[in-house]
A and B are shown apart, each in its own frame.
Chain A
Amino acid sequence: MTLKKRKGLVPALAIGVTVVLAATGCSAGANGGSSTTSGGTITIGVLATSQGNLAFGMDEAKAAIGVAMQAIGGTVDGGVINGKTVKIVYAGTDGTSGTAQTQVKKLVENDGVNIVFGPVSGDEGEAVVQYALTVPEVTFVNGSASPVGMTLAGATNFFRFHGDSAMWMGGLGKYAYDVKKYKKIYSIAEDYSFPYDNAGGFFSGFCAAGGKVSGNSWVPVGTTDYATVISQIPAGTDAVYVGLGGADAASFLSQAVTSGVHLPLVGGSIAVDTTALAGDANIASAAIGTITGGPVPGAGYTNPKWQPFVDAYVKQPKAFPSPSIFSILYYNSFESLILGLQQSKGDLSNKQGALRDALGSLQWDSPTGHISMDKNRQAIVDNFLIQVVKGTDGKLKQENISSATGVTQGTKVYDRFTGCP
């Protein structure tokens, strides 16, 4: 075989693969933007996922920001608050801490944003908090990242206007044991910070009520083949805890159907969210009856601010049939930021002190209940227990079982665990 012109084969392959991997996080959302740290313009840099299994995150973020900005006469690209021009730039990530770090640095160091808004996913959130500690002149408002530890890291410029993932499971463990009579539960969850806390929140309640864990499978994010994991579920298990999200959850549910899993499911906060239910896969027989907890109210929620928000949301481009957990958290957080900017009259002088005071003491009635702040700049919020049911139109929907008001943060940070946490 003559291969004389082929000396470049290996380097070309190496460079190509490297660029593919690097580009998956950076190929979208590069809107650019000029440095505007002074004058009348406030620049907000938004981080959201545009690749990977939460690739719809950017659309959801824009839908949420669209609702909030249109209410004050602006657009997803900006508007005017208290006479100050607000410009919004976007940076896409793939949901990993690596790209989150790259993109948050791009926003702060290249685009010169005054405020960072985001990110979506748990590991990203922890990377962004660590970065926030190094740039005290920039204010960070979290998007939907929910590891417990984020607001316990001591970053005084970091604010979270929604519950953490352990708070979202509050009360569900006891409900599963007492009302659903599940005695033994098998846990399947993705292997990163958000499911640790989410599952930790559930199983600490479930085990305290007397429940047992019949096994844990921590799978890598992006796992699409669950046949083997499903076969690990031991006999005598009453229910399966599904701590998966987005495409991973949809894969699991559809494969649970084809593998003939007939056990009831307990969902992590994003397992049977509207993003999974909106997919085309045949998941109904697996999803119906699933109980879950989280910041998203189901059908039958009567807060007067809820329906107007849903109506405004569905008019946004690329919106789901109903708001997902991501658009709700992004909306509540972005609206909090707008309120903070209004209360501080857009004053970013003195190291953004006025804005931070306003954000740290903010109280308002959101579409999902009253939001107030604790001393760690972590919100005190309402939380919901819900169940997936088949609606009269044959579509899957979530129905409220109960809700809790004024849920505060615990201080336990969970890690990967075996058995009970």
Chain B
Amino acid sequence: MDQFLLIALNGLTLAAVYFLVASGLTLIFGLMRVISMAHGMSYLLGGYIGYEIVRQTGNWILGALGAAIAVGLLGLFIHQVLIRRFQDDDMRVALVTLGISLIGTDLMLAVFGGTATQVPIPKDFQIGLDLPVIGQYPLIRLLILAVAIVVGVGLTLFINKTRFGSIVRAGVDDSQMTSATGVNVRLVFGLIFLLGSALAAFAGVVGGTLFPLLPGQDGSYLLFSLVVVIVGGMGSVPGAAIGAVLVGLVSQFALVYAPTYSLVLTFALMVIVLAVRPQGILGRAS
């Protein structure tokens, strides 16, 4: 039983990282319906920027903030300059962001090399915490779970309860009508792209603290966050959280009971959900 709980907790803490990456994508892809293939690149770039800042200053929070701001601004630039004019042309957007992603990851390979690095954390956080039933558990994983919950709740409130959130939802549903009411839709979409990219970069610093940063992680995180967003339902933050938990639990339990098939099972999850509920678990039927 404690074994089962331990695996479940591992799945939840892994899901926290997946959720943080996917929360940005659920804004950009799920809500705005812009297919950004550069999301994985934002994750990796954020991780590397955070890594450099933390190494220079020794301050993890500064690293996370710096990465989020830098990559957020890059996202704003990409949206305003490269994507905005043909935002509704999905194929073009996918190809442009794909190009950005390929160029970006190759540049990162040139600058940061192909060796795995990890964002350093203070020694005080590298300890195990005594939990009831489970026993020793790494403190850092629990902290990341807490961070993900805070981000998730904050984002849900932001989208559903604030005026800005309602403008975003209105802009996505009918951008011309929203414009007609005097809202600068271009600015609103730009800000969402900024926020989505910043979240990916923040996730990069969090993920880069727990797992290695290296070329190739961009592709796997893009893929995992697409699975999370699609399983959870496009544009739904609670849906992304549920999707992330499912993906995290499946991959951890599979690693124990069917290690060879753990990747297959993760994608099988997506296939099953889409077969039963094509709009995703919390998605709205269109």
Whether B255 sits at the interface, judged by CB under 8 Å, is yes
Residues of B close to A2: CB separation below 8 A: 173-174
Whether B140 sits at the interface, judged by CB under 8 Å, is yes
Tell me whether B35 and A12 are in contact (CB under 8 A). Answer: yes
Shortest CB–CB separation between residue A186 and chain B, in angstroms? 14
Whether A51 sits at the interface, judged by CB under 8 Å, is yes
Whether A312 sits at the interface, judged by CB under 8 Å, is no
Q: Which residue of B lies closest to A4 (CB)?
A: B88
Residues of B close to A21: CB separation below 8 A: 219, 223
Tell me whether B109 and A259 are in contact (CB under 8 A). Answer: no
Residues of B close to A232: CB separation below 8 A: 256
Tell me whether B284 and A250 are in contact (CB under 8 A). Answer: no
Residues of B close to A23: CB separation below 8 A: 98, 102
Of residues B109, B123, B223, B286, which shows the largest number of chain A Cβ atoms within 10 Å of its Cβ? B109
Tell me whether A258 and B94 are in contact (CB under 8 A). Answer: no
Shortest CB–CB separation between residue A221 and chain B, in angstroms? 10
Distance of A127 Cα from B82 Cα, bound (Å): 40
Contact of B214 among A1, A3, A27, A247 (CB under 8 A): A247
Shortest CB–CB separation between residue B114 and chain A, in angstroms? 3
Contact (A20, B252) CB under 8 Å given A5-B88, A251-B116: no
Contact pattern, A 118-133, Cβ under 8 Å of B = 1, otherwise 0: 0000000000000000
Q: Which residue of A lies closest to B36 (CB)?
A: A16
Contact of B118 among A3, A8, A279 (CB under 8 A): A279
Residues of B close to A257: CB separation below 8 A: 126
Whether A282 sits at the interface, judged by CB under 8 Å, is yes
Shortest CB–CB separation between residue A18 and chain B, in angstroms? 10
- Size of B's binding interface in residues, CB under 8 A: 68
Distance of A217 Cα from B101 Cα, bound (Å): 34
Tell me whether B90 and A24 are in contact (CB under 8 A). Answer: no
Which residues of A, 13-54, contact B by the 8 Å Cβ criterion?
13, 15-17, 19-21, 23-24, 27-28, 49-54
Tell me whether A15 and B94 are in contact (CB under 8 A). Answer: yes
Which residues of A, 59-116, contact B by the 8 Å Cβ criterion?
59, 94
B interface: dominant SS: helix
Distance of A272 Cα from B220 Cα, bound (Å): 25
Tell me whether A55 and B215 are in contact (CB under 8 A). Answer: yes
Chain A interface: which of B68-76, B150-158, B259-267? B259-267
Residues of B close to A53: CB separation below 8 A: 116, 214, 216
Of residues A12, A255, A320, which shows the largest number of chain B Cβ atoms within 10 Å of its Cβ? A12
Residues of B close to A54: CB separation below 8 A: 114
Residues of B close to A3: CB separation below 8 A: 33, 286
Distance of A3 Cα from B32 Cα, bound (Å): 11
Shortest CB–CB separation between residue B97 and chain A, in angstroms? 8
Tally inter-chain residue pairs, CB-CB below 8 A.
183
Whether A153 sits at the interface, judged by CB under 8 Å, is no
Tell me whether A219 and B90 are in contact (CB under 8 A). Answer: no
Whether A218 sits at the interface, judged by CB under 8 Å, is yes
Contact of B90 among A9, A51, A250, A275 (CB under 8 A): A9
Residues of A close to B127: CB separation below 8 A: 258
Whether A152 sits at the interface, judged by CB under 8 Å, is no
Tell me whether B10 and A231 are in contact (CB under 8 A). Answer: yes
Shortest CB–CB separation between residue A53 and chain B, in angstroms? 7
Tell me whether B118 and A229 are in contact (CB under 8 A). Answer: no
Tell me whether B118 and A58 are in contact (CB under 8 A). Answer: no
Whether B80 sits at the interface, judged by CB under 8 Å, is no
Tell me whether A16 and B216 are in contact (CB under 8 A). Answer: no
Contact of A9 among B35, B123, B284 (CB under 8 A): B35
Distance of A57 Cα from B118 Cα, bound (Å): 19
Tell me whether A231 and B215 are in contact (CB under 8 A). Answer: no
Tell me whether A191 and B259 are in contact (CB under 8 A). Answer: yes
Tell me whether A259 and B216 are in contact (CB under 8 A). Answer: no
Whether B23 sits at the interface, judged by CB under 8 Å, is no
Distance of A251 Cα from B123 Cα, bound (Å): 17
Shortest CB–CB separation between residue A21 and chain B, in angstroms? 7
Whether B211 sits at the interface, judged by CB under 8 Å, is yes
Contact (A191, B260) CB under 8 Å given A57-B114, A258-B128: yes
Distance of A336 Cα from B188 Cα, bound (Å): 62
Cross-chain pairs A/B with CB under 8 angstroms, 18 sampled: A2-B174, A3-B33, A17-B223, A17-B226, A19-B98, A20-B101, A52-B215, A53-B116, A55-B214, A217-B255, A220-B263, A225-B10, A247-B214, A250-B118, A251-B211, A258-B138, A279-B116, A280-B120
For the complex with contacts A20-B98, A227-B252, 11 further pairs of A-B residues with Cβ separation under 8 Å are: A1-B284, A55-B109, A55-B114, A224-B212, A225-B252, A228-B6, A229-B255, A258-B139, A260-B128, A279-B116, A280-B51
Q: Which 5 pairs across A and B sit closest by C-beta, in order of nearness? A: A55-B114, A247-B116, A56-B114, A12-B90, A224-B211
Measuring CB to CB, which residues of chain B are less than 8 angstroms from any residue of chain A? 3, 6-7, 10-11, 13-14, 33, 35, 37, 40, 51, 55, 88-91, 93-95, 97-98, 101-102, 105-106, 109, 113-118, 120, 123, 126-128, 136, 138-141, 172-174, 210-212, 214-217, 219-220, 222-223, 226, 251-252, 255-256, 259-260, 262-263, 284, 286
Measuring CB to CB, which residues of chain A are less than 8 angstroms from any residue of chain B? 1-3, 5-6, 8-9, 11-13, 15-17, 19-21, 23-24, 27-28, 49-59, 94, 191, 217-220, 222-225, 227-229, 231-232, 246-247, 250-251, 254-255, 257-260, 275, 278-282, 318, 320, 416
